[in-house]
Amino acid sequence: PRPILLTRHGESQDNVRGRIGGDSVLSETGDLYSEKLAKFVEERLKSERTASIWTSTLQRTIMTATPIVELPKIQWRALDEINAGVCDGMAYEEIKRNMPEEYESRKKDKLRYRYPRGESYLDVIQRLEPVIIELERQRAPVVVISHQAVLRALYAYFADRPLKEIPHIEVPLHTVIEIQMGVTGVQEKRYKLMD
Ligand code: F6P
């Protein structure tokens, strides 16, 4: 059985400032995670002949993959974070203060809520379809370095979790979720590489 390793990028400067979206670089802590992840991947996949690293097109995932030198890397736009449209770059508090109706509608139905000029979770789930098809086709392990909303959707697909739970699944930073697909079903392990 081949593992799929799912992880968010290391902590970004926008994570530190509490801003959503954007295309910021990693913080120092995020850089440290990229080093730890490279060691983990090297150790975990050393017996595998072929494996690949899939990132989004955003700097924070590409930077997180940089220390992994020995494996081929592919960038997917479909792995980019949920597009927050007019709210891109804002903090949740700012949205609550300046656009209270938007804030409330999202709270009421986070799965279906679509950011003005942006996306909903359902949109994200739909655009992930080609990624999922390709992941299922792979015979070799894949390390997916992406973002919170996208990984919630990917994880839910493999762990067979209901749609309505997706926007609330815990996918913390600096943690690798390993998914093994075997004959007896799907097995999952979580590795917290740092705080
Ligand atoms: O805060 C990090 C982040 O990846 C944002 O870029 C994104 O908008 C958000 O998480 C998605 O999580 P939620 O759907 O809970 O707002």
- Atom 13 (ligand 1): residue with closest C-alpha? 149
Question: Is the entire prediction scored with pTM above 0.90?
Answer: yes
CA of 52 to the centre of ligand 1 (A): 25
Give residue 133's pLDDT band: very low, low, confident or very high (50, 70, 90). very high
- The average pLDDT across 123-151 equals 97
Please choose from 81, 121, 123 the residue to mutate so as to test ligand 1's pocket, defined by most ligand atoms within 8 A of CB.
Answer: 81
CA neighbours within 13 Å on the CB side: how many for 144?
28
48, pLDDT greater than 90: no
- The average pLDDT across 147-176 equals 97
1, pLDDT greater than 70: no
- Which position has the higher pLDDT, 46 or 52? 52
Q: What percent of the chain has pLDDT over 70?
A: 99
- Atom 2 (ligand 1): residue with closest C-alpha? 20
- The average pLDDT across 134-141 equals 94
Which residues' Cβ are closer than 6 Å to ligand 1?
Answer: 20-21, 81-82, 84, 147-149, 167
In degrees, rounded to 5, the angle at the alpha carbon of residue 29 between the alpha carbons of residues 143 and 155 is: 30
What pLDDT digit, counting tens, does each position of 88-124 carry?
Answer: 999 999 999 999 999 999 999 999 999 999 999 999 9
ipTM above 0.90, yes or no: yes
185, pLDDT greater than 90: no
CA of 149 to the centre of ligand 1 (A): 6
